[in-house]
Amino acid sequence: METFRTIIPIKKTWDLTHADRILTMGSCFADRMSDILMQSGFRVEHNPFGVLYNPMSVVKALETLWYNIPFRDEDVFEYQGCYASFMHHTSFSGRDKDEVLKRIRMRTAQASQALHQADCLMITFGTSWVYALAETGKIVANCHKLPDYHFVRRRLDVAEIVEYYSEFLEVVFREKPDLKILMTVSPIRHFKDGAHENTLSKAVLHLAIEELCLRFPQIVYFPAYELLCDDLRDYRFYDEDMLHPNSQALRYIWEAFSQFAFDKNTKDLIHQLQQIHKAMQHKPLRPGDEAYVRFAQKNLAAIAMLQLAHPELDLTEEQDFFKRILE
């Protein structure tokens, strides 16, 4: 039978287990995949600077974490009564400067430890278009709606991405030679840059990742971009904005990632965890009756068995959920 679709071959290339500690950095697509990983029982520290779209902001954030660079008071600026950081997403901004600094410093300290302990680093590039401060040339992660005249817009080239990452990763791999790095290009198109400009931007990201994979055997590429844009090239797999993948597309990409990164034991464990989470969504007809109590006891026993077999799992939230039913 003739196949009317473009199939992206996915084979087992990577090795990720629940024993691995994961740090994810990058675009909003990285956030979505992080959510699925956490729901599947993985230990994930995700986007400690908030969503970062361009490669240079990601590596600058990684440097801050790796070298534990202190965040100074002057690294926060005020605009229209709101305090923000050019290294961070707007989710870190606020009206109280002390609270903003406290939140940033706390998250940075936590993520710095996570990076040094990580077994796996997952990086998603969103765009090679960057905004740099007109006065200093410093690339910002977010413009925080400041007027355009504060910035100069340009596109990164392949060489500068590769050289900057190579310099940083050589230091990291000397201390952590077994660190596994997975790189992806976000399949979310940045059409605000323009259709052709988005294509050029994504091409730069693909070429930079290819070169980094050739330089460092610890780095692998996962084709999330191709899975959405070439395989699922249909608007029924997109949200209403026609740019972001919908839940069906994310499930499809996750299934491909499972084939790419998980062995049978890991897949079986994920299935068991999904059964527990499915049970947590159950709406009883008569809360508090004997059948529902037995239901809770059965799931608590299953959680205890999983915790005994896999001490690396943190199932506190799941245990507390079913314990509350028995109270």
pLDDT tens digit sequence for 85-96: 999 999 999 999
Per-position b or e across 2-40, b if 16+ CB within 10 A of its CB: eeeeeeeebeeeeebbbebebbbbbbbbbebbbebbeeb
User: Band of the pLDDT at 28, cuts 50, 70, 90?
Assistant: confident
Average pLDDT over residues 102-128: 97
pLDDT tens digit sequence for 48-58: 999 999 999 99
Rounded CA separation 20/206 (Å): 26
Considering just the CA atoms, what is the radius of gyration of the chain in Å?
22
Rounded CA separation 174/266 (Å): 29
Residue 106, pLDDT > 50, answer yes
User: Band of the pLDDT at 2, cuts 50, 70, 90?
Assistant: low
Predicted confidence at residue 284, as pLDDT, reads 76
CB 143 within 8 Å of CB 132: no
Average pLDDT over residues 120-142: 97
Average pLDDT over residues 126-154: 97
Predicted confidence at residue 172, as pLDDT, reads 98
pLDDT tens digit sequence for 200-257: 999 999 999 999 999 999 999 999 999 999 999 888 999 998 888 999 999 999 999 9
Predicted confidence at residue 1, as pLDDT, reads 45
Extents of the domains making up the chain: 21-262, 263-327
Residue 286, pLDDT > 80, answer no
Predicted confidence at residue 82, as pLDDT, reads 96
Mean pLDDT of all residues in the chain?
Answer: 93
Residue type, 275: Q
Residue 326, pLDDT > 90, answer no
Domain 21-262, CATH number (from 3.40.50, 1.20.58, 3.30.70, 1.10.3470)? 3.40.50
Percent of the chain with pLDDT over 90: 79
Predicted confidence at residue 3, as pLDDT, reads 66
**82-96, 112-126, 154-168, 293-307, range with the lowest pLDDT:** 293-307
The residues with which 129 forms a beta bridge, in sequence order, are: 155
> What are phi and psi for residue 219, nearest 5 degrees?
-100, 135
